[in-house]
Amino acid sequence: MTQLHRRHLLAGGFALAAAPAAAQHNHGNTQPHQAGQFERLNQPGRTDLPDLAHQHAATDSPAPRAANPGRWRALAPLPIPRTEMAWAAEYRGRVHLVGGYAEQRVDRPYHHAYDLASNSWTELPQVPRGANHVGVVSHGGRLYAFGGFLEQNRTPHDGAYAFDGESWTTLRRLPEACGAIACVSAGDLIHLIGGAIGSDNRRSVDWHITYDPRTDRYGRRQPMPLARDHTGVVFVNGVIHVIGGRVDTFHTNSNLHHTYDPRTDEWTFRAPIPTARSGHGSVWFANRVFCMGGEGTNRVHGSTEAYDPATDRWESYAPMTTPRHGMGAVVLGDSIVVAGGGPQMGGGVLSAINEAFSLG
C-alpha cells in the first residue's frame, strides 16, 4: 500500500454537562499527544496542541476499573488534520474516513483509508458531495454514506452514496435531509437512527429509517425513545445498541442507552453509560461495547468505558492518550483504531492524531 500523497440522562432523560473532571493518570498509555499534528479551522498551518485542550480534557470515569485496563499507542498520523467526520467504518480490512472539516472548510469530500498492517494511509475517490457529520456504514460489500451537514454542524443535505472499492454510486435520496445520523448494518438492512435537522433552528430528531440496498428504498421503524444525534451505535447479538448523544446540543448530553430489536420493532432501556457524552466512538470489541472520546460543555472526554451485555454493567479502561471528539473509531484485528477528531470543545481545532487501544 502506498503512503497517501496530499491533495488538495441521567437514566430516562438527559444530563447537563458539568465542569471537566480531574485528569487521571494514563496507566498503560505509551506517549502523550504528538507535536505539530493539529490545525485551526480558521487558519492554515500546523500547530501544537492548544492550551485550551488541556483545560477541556476530562479522563475520569465513575465506572469501576477493569482488571485489565488495556493500553493506547500512537499510529501513523492522518496526512491532513480532520475532525467532524462524525464516524468511521471498517471496509475491506481498513478504516475509512469520509468528509468532515479540513483545510479551513467544513464541507470536504475527502476519503482516506488506513491500513493497520502497513501503518499507512491511502487517498481514495472522494464522496460525491462534501459534508461534515456524514453517516457511514459498511454493508454487503459496499461502503455507504448518508446525509451530513453543509455548514458547520447544521444545514443538512439528503444525498446518499455507495462505494464499491473503485468508485461512488448515487443512491435514492434520503426521505428528509439530516446529519449526524447513527448508521448500522443489521441483517439485510441498514438502519439510520436519529440525527439533526435545520439550520438556524437546528434540533435533534428521533427518526428511525431503514434502507434496503436490494431495492434502493427506505422504510420506517419505531422511533428512538428520545430524540438525539451524535450517538454511538453498534449491532450485537441481534440487537442495535444506541448509546449517549446530544439532545439538540452538547450542553444537554444524554447518558441513555437503549437497544432495538429489529424482529419485534421494540426499544429496551439498558444500563446508562457512566459518562454522558456525544460525538464519541462506539465499537464491539472483546465481547463488550467500548465507548471512548466525545464532547461536553467545556470538556473533551478521554475516558474509555465498556458495556458487558451479559451483566448489563459498565467498566472503565485506560483513558485515551489524546482526548478527542468527532473522530472515527473502528476495530481492526486486536485493536480499536481512533483517527482524527477535535481536541477541544467545538470544531475550531482539527487533529491528525491516530491512536490504537488494545488489551494485550
Closest CA to 305 of 86, 14, 58, 12: 58
Domain residues of the chain, as ranges?
38-358
Cell of 270: 439498558
* Dihedral, CA of residue 283, residue 285, residue 287 and residue 288, to nearest 10: -50
Q: Answer whether 183's CB lies under 8 Å from 201's CB.
A: no
Strands 71-74 and 335-339: unpaired
What residues have CB less than 8 Å from 52, skipping those under 6 apart?
344, 345
* Dihedral, CA of residue 167, residue 169, residue 170 and residue 171, to nearest 10: -140
Look-up: residue for cell 434520503?
174
Look-up: residue for cell 470538556?
299
The number of beta carbons lying within 10 Å of the beta carbon of residue 53 is 21
Architecture, CATH, for domain 38-358: 6 Propeller (2.120)
Question: Residue-wise pLDDT tens for the chain (360 aa)?
Answer: 333 333 333 233 444 343 333 333 333 444 445 679 999 999 999 999 999 999 999 999 999 999 999 999 999 999 999 999 988 999 999 999 999 999 999 999 999 999 999 999 999 999 999 999 999 999 999 999 999 999 999 999 999 999 999 999 999 999 999 999 999 999 999 999 999 999 999 999 999 999 999 999 999 999 999 999 999 999 999 999 999 999 999 999 999 999 999 999 999 999 999 999 999 999 999 999 999 999 999 999 999 999 999 999 999 999 999 999 999 999 999 999 999 999 999 999 999 999 999 998
Per-residue 3-state assignment (H helix, E strand, C coil) for 243-262 = ECCEECEEEEECCCEEEEEC
DSSP 8-state symbol, 4: P
As a whole number of angstroms, the distance between CA 9 and CA 303 comes to 18
